[in-house]
Structure 1
Amino acid sequence: MSDVSTNLYKSQLLDYYYQRRAESSINKGSRFLISKAVFGTSSLVTKKGDGTYEIGELPKAFDLAELTSQFCTINLVPTYSGGIITVRMDLDQSQLQEGKNYPFNTLVVLDNENKPIAIICVQEDSLYVGKTYTAVMAINSTTA
């Protein structure tokens, strides 16, 4: 698999992911689960003067309130094999209104406490009923 240019795609596990994973392993707080993803937009992706988009530096902390729009929330069923957690995020078109265009540039992955654990930013796109969208995030669990 080739690497995708950071002009087109960036992803970041948040500090909170590591904190929750560690706390769960010592039975502190609730069990840590990767459970949902939210489709929306954020100011992390900006339009430049020439009409192209720039994905800014992704932070190590992010709050769901930082999304400038949210239009679809899905439940996740991550898989695990060979040290890799695979998180597949498919747009649920049943949550979209027919004939409406939804600007999209940010996916936020949530834990079972509905707090962000990862963010994915892409070039600005439009999603709508009839257009499928799938994002896949691979988390190497053998590294910190």
Structure 2
Amino acid sequence: MSNPSNLRYAPTHEWAKQDGDVVTIGVTAFAIEQLTEPTYLELPAVGAELKAGDKFGIIESYKSTSDLYSPVAGTVIERNEPLVDDGPTKRKGDPKPVNDDAFGAGWMVKIKLAPGATLDHLLTAAQYDQQLASEGH
């Protein structure tokens, strides 16, 4: 799958799409391919403050567990609720859209950028493709 050119990418395989001062974040198709089919997703609560590089969640599959890292600084204003598992006694999430549509319906959180925060430090699609190639993928 090609990486959309309208997104920016973190070296840790998260993508970011800016719309004004709101950034939508998810994980790349490459990350999902490495995990295989996700079975569990943990995301931060709305209102959580994140710095660029902060761990913001966990994604699990039958194969492995990976931490998710925020590519930008800001405040979580929305999370993709249908994906989230709220624990054994609460609603069971369905992370299948992350597997089926990593760059669309599989988005994870929306963050209002912190003052002065940008996406300039993130990779373009071409740079991210180059990173994957240099890692032998």
> TM-score surpassing 0.5?
no
| TM-score (ref. length: structure 2) | 0.30
Judging by fraction of residues, say which structure has more helix. Answer: 2
Q: TM-score, normalised by structure 1?
A: 0.29
Higher radius of gyration, 1 or 2: 1
